[in-house]
Amino acid sequence: MGIVVPTNEAVLSLKGLHLYHANRSNCAARVRLLLEEKRLDWTSHHIDLGKKENISEEYFGINPKGLVPSLVHDGTVVVESNDILVYLEEAFPEPGFRSVPAGQQAEIDHWLKKSGDMHLPAIKTFQYSKINSRLVKKTEDEETLYWKLQKDPDLLAFHGKHRQGESFSEADLAGATMLLDETFAEMNRALTDREWLVDGAYTLADISWAPTITTLTGGGYDFTPYPAVQRWYSVISERPQFEKAVLEWRRMATYAAGVDRTISGTASTIQE
């Protein structure tokens, strides 16, 4: 989607970088990670997905699908997390995270596309099957407002599956797990004899995918069959930028103050 024209005109006058994001959203975390890697100053607009703060006319006027993250840069609105990464890379080229030879640029694009394509059918379906659908039951008023505001057929179908506290089926979970298994098998092969997803440099590909490993681990996805992915992730998760952009936000006080309950050893706050 990239740049969109907001119907919420209040954001047109915002100066600098403003990020609408959620602390445990992997899509938001990849954008925070790039902002941190580029040492950019930004203003936080935290959207609590557990409280359905994204379901409002005001927020749908910024992001037409009511999703986080959304970036506003001097009044320009950019949505879709991987498009935001590319936008930031072009707007603030130094330090650069596409620093590979021309022939390898397509590999970065491959991993960014895969990250976008996998989100709804694999990552989000896995997380909702395992954790989220239990936690995000909408009230009747929230349901009514959501079905009024949301126009995207895929999201209507997705959120229709956990209406009234219902959950995803075993077949949904199996399908999502199969897609994840295929993806991480490919990623494990790519990382077996090299440090980064695209040979020679830490790029947008790594920045896009690493926070997703954190999220899926929280949902109970088993990474033990993918040792090269585990090794790569442990290197990235040691970066101070990752600590600040991903892990610190996941430990936010609102959750630490009692909401971060544990079900079978798994954090039970909403995690996408």
Minimum distance from residue 231 beta carbon to ligand GSH (Å)? 25
With respect to ligand GSH, which residue has the nearer C-beta, 188 or 205? 205
Chain position carrying tokens 């909408």: 138
Q: Kindly give the residue spans of alpha helices, DSSP state H, lying in the chain.
A: 26-37, 57-60, 81-91, 105-118, 125-127, 133-135, 140-149, 153-160, 170-191, 204-218, 227-237, 240-242, 248-250, 253-254
Chain position carrying tokens 């990382």: 191
Minimum distance from residue 216 beta carbon to ligand GSH (Å)? 12
With respect to ligand GSH, which residue has the nearer C-beta, 32 or 119? 119
Minimum distance from residue 170 beta carbon to ligand GSH (Å)? 22
With respect to ligand GSH, which residue has the nearer C-beta, 27 or 245? 27
Dist CA 227 CA 192 (whole Å)? 8
With respect to ligand GSH, which residue has the nearer C-beta, 82 or 214? 82
> Which residues of the shown chain bind ligand GSH in the complex (CB under 6 A)?
22, 25-27, 49, 54, 66-69, 80-82, 116, 119, 124, 272
Minimum distance from residue 143 beta carbon to ligand GSH (Å)? 12
